[in-house]
Amino acid sequence: MSVLIIAEHDNKSLKPATLNTVTAATQIDADVHVLVVGFECQTVVEQASQVAGVSKVLVADNAAYEHQLAENVSKLVVEIAGDYGHILAPATTTGKNTLPRVAALLNVAQLSDVIKVESADTFVRPIYAGNAIATVKTTDPVKVLTVRATGFDAAASTGGSAERQVLSQVIASDRSRFVKEQLAESDRPELTAANVIISGGRGMGNGDNFKLLEGIADKLGAAIGASRAAVDAGFVPNDLQVGQTGKTVAPDLYIAVGISGAIQHLAGMKDSKVIVAINKDEDAPIFQVADYGLVADLFDAVPELEKSL
Amino acid sequence: MKILVSVKRVIDYNVKVRVKSDQSAVDLTNVKMSMNPFCEIAVEEAIRLKEKGVASEVVVVSVGSKSCQETLRTAMALGADRAIQVEAEDGLDSLSVAKLIAKVAQEEAADLVIMGKQAIDSDNNQTGQMVAALLDYPQATFASEIVIENGEAQVTREIDGGLQTLAITLPAVVTTDLRLNEPRFASLPNIMKAKKKPLDVKTSADLGVEVGSNVSIVSVTPPPQRAGGIKVGSVAELVDKLKNEAKVVS
Ligand SMILES: Cc1cc2nc3c(=O)[nH]c(=O)nc-3n(C[C@H](O)[C@H](O)[C@H](O)COP(=O)(O)OP(=O)(O)OC[C@H]3O[C@@H](n4cnc5c(N)ncnc54)[C@H](O)[C@@H]3O)c2cc1C
């Protein structure tokens, strides 16, 4: 049976995590459909139709879906679920918000943060902040999974030519209403899609000092991340948090500055290809996962690093 | 307004996790257990709503073996009024737990259900959403602020792109994120008082809920270990390594 993917998008563009999810889906079944639920989201539909490996794009374009409220999207997905053996979404805050609702309405389990497809019914996922890896098998008639982007390569964004189907159902809950949004504006790459990330922790001391990281980020085309402690202290906004309960990243290069390396932080970044740690405490646990550790005061090392890049 | 808060007993977040040698599960023998940190935040928020006069009663529920009564007592020491243990094997699947909690929420006629966004053992991040779906309630997940007004909860949510505010009508389910509040510690007198607060025990049969899941564990293994790296002596050496050895910087 076919696989359905709920596209991650903001009505303007298809988010990269969808491409990794397509790769996971093609490992389950060759027939992969993508559902775009949104409002005035035609460019997203165009982009989704071109993704290699996608045979069909379903479109539900209505004002009721503008903010992809879980109450509405889940019921829409359940209406079409009968055609599918698997329903997938990227393990983003949107996917995690919606997919458990879908599973509960279908009376089946939902497997979170899948990092590997063993077969059409057996999947691998991290538990305990990535300190254990569970392989689980499900005999549910519909298998509902969120997919962790770092576990799968991105499918090619072009080369496909999917057919399109318009869904006319409009499901509009009158019990949930969008009020406002404060989205981070940044010219830098998205944290979860960046090839290079430089993250700051409590050691940065305050929010102003995060400017020290910007020079390096500019030179390397990097995204800026943070530990929970830096977010809790108000140095930077929540969307920068990397870790067990924040974002999971796996860039080619991750530079941790003034971060001790708590397991909850490591859970979000230890699959990075190369890890650099700058910390003045030579016993900081971050050095146990770092390929290159520099024991130094960050206020000396970071400006010097910026100059030498 | 009545608030139902769910709490889960999990491995303490400071404990180093070890996998059993037969690869069946994580080893929990003689390991320190605590209330899941996101559930602590949920309890704290409910108590604050009661202290503000918004809520009149805070009921806590936990699904698990007898040992979760300890977690329920902790929640009552923090300020919850009474507790319900739903007796079940530990590690029950999320959907079964959600069905049990949904039933308790219905029986209690709770106006608001506050739950942690995820438990730090199974890292599922799904039970709250499932409870909401089963009851056909609106939901606001990953909350960093909750304001109750005119039968509505205005909830600010931590999302990947930043913050989003939703207004949901009660009854509803809210799940907590880290920035919602900083939980208090229980005082000794309150710990003593909590011992006398009511704690009901129910079974899934009492609630008329059938539990069970089609998911089975094939194996639980330790994660691949990173090979240890080296310490560099200077920024110049670091840059040289990044350019010429790792080749991640040009
Ligand atoms: C339920 C739960 C979920 C969590 N989720 C996450 C998560 O998703 N992500 C996350 O990151 N954390 C998470 N945490 C928190 C985690 O346990 C740690 O508290 C946090 O990661 C610590 O952040 P930090 O390394 O910045 O701060 P600290 O541990 O305080 O470390 C600061 C480091 O900076 C160094 N330093 C200080 N000054 C300087 C200087 N001038 N130069 C160089 N180095 C300096 C110090 O040596 C120290 O190693 C979670 C915790 C819980 C309980």
Q: What is the mean pLDDT of residues A214-224?
A: 97
A40-49: long-range pairs with CB below 8 Å, 24+: A40/A11, A41/A9, A41/A11, A41/A12, A43/A12, A43/A13, A44/A7, A44/A9, A44/A11, A44/A12, A44/A13, A44/A14, A45/A164, A47/A13, A47/A14, A47/A157, A48/A7, A48/A14, A48/A18, A48/A162, A49/A160, A49/A161, A49/A162, A49/A164
Identify the domain containing residue B152 by its residue range: 2-221
pLDDT band at A253 (very low <50, low <70, confident <90, very high): very high
Query: Judging by beta carbons within 10 Å of its beta carbon (0-12, 13-18, 19+), is residue B158 exposed, middle or buried?
Result: buried
Q: Does B94 touch chain A (CB under 8 A)?
A: yes
Which residues, other chains included, contact A216 with Cβ-Cβ below 8 Å and sequence gap of 6+? Answer: A198, A222, A255, A302, A305, A306, A309
CA distance A73 to A54: 21
DSSP track, A183-217? EPP-SSPPGGG-SEEEEE-GGG-SSGGGHHHHHHH
Query: Was A244 annotated as part of a binding site?
Result: yes
Domain count, chain B: 1
Query: Judging by beta carbons within 10 Å of its beta carbon (0-12, 13-18, 19+), is residue B189 exposed, middle or buried?
Result: exposed
- pLDDT (tens, 9 = 90+) of chain B, 250 residues, equals 999 999 999 999 999 999 999 999 999 999 999 999 999 999 999 999 999 999 999 999 999 999 999 999 999 999 999 999 999 999 999 999 999 999 999 999 999 999 999 999 999 999 999 999 999 999 999 999 999 999 999 999 999 999 999 999 999 999 999 999 999 999 999 999 999 999 999 999 999 999 999 999 999 999 998 888 999 999 999 999 999 999 999 8
Residues A97, A103, A109, A111, CA torsion sign: negative
CATH assignment of the domain containing B34: 3.40.50.620
First to last CA, chain A: 51
**Which chain B residues touch A275 with a CB distance below 8 Å?**
226, 229
Q: In this predicted structure, what is the pLDDT of residue A160?
A: 96
CA distance A272 to A290: 10
Query: Judging by beta carbons within 10 Å of its beta carbon (0-12, 13-18, 19+), is residue B95 exposed, middle or buried?
Result: buried
Q: Is residue B182 part of a domain?
A: yes
Q: How far is B59 from chain A (nearest CA, A)?
A: 24
Q: Is residue B194 part of a domain?
A: yes
Q: Is residue B110 part of a domain?
A: yes
Q: Is residue B250 part of a domain?
A: no
Token representation of residue A37: 């639920």
CATH numbers and ranges of domains, chain A:
2-166 (3.40.50.620), 191-308 (3.40.50.1220)
B107-127 b/e with 16+ CB inside 10 Å = b?
ebebbbbbbbbbbbbbbbbbb
Q: Is residue B99 part of a domain?
A: yes
**How many angstroms separate the alpha carbon of residue A275 from the centre of ligand 1?**
16
Q: Are B139 and B129 in contact (CB under 8 A)?
A: yes
- For an interface test with A, the pick among B125, B144, B163, B249 (most A C-beta atoms closer than 10 Å) comes out as B125
Nearest CA in chain A to B210: A107
Q: Is residue B229 part of a domain?
A: no
At B79-113, the pLDDT tens digits run 999 999 999 999 999 999 999 999 999 999 999 99
Of A267, A273, A308, A306, the residue nearest A130 (C-alpha)? A267
Q: Which of residues 4-43 of A touch B (CB under 8 A)?
A: 10
CA distance B161 to A231: 14
**How many angstroms separate the alpha carbon of residue A200 from the centre of ligand 1?**
9
Q: Is residue B143 part of a domain?
A: yes
Q: In this predicted structure, what is the pLDDT of residue A185?
A: 87
Q: Is residue B168 part of a domain?
A: yes
Helix (H, G, I), strand (E, B) or coil at A119: strand
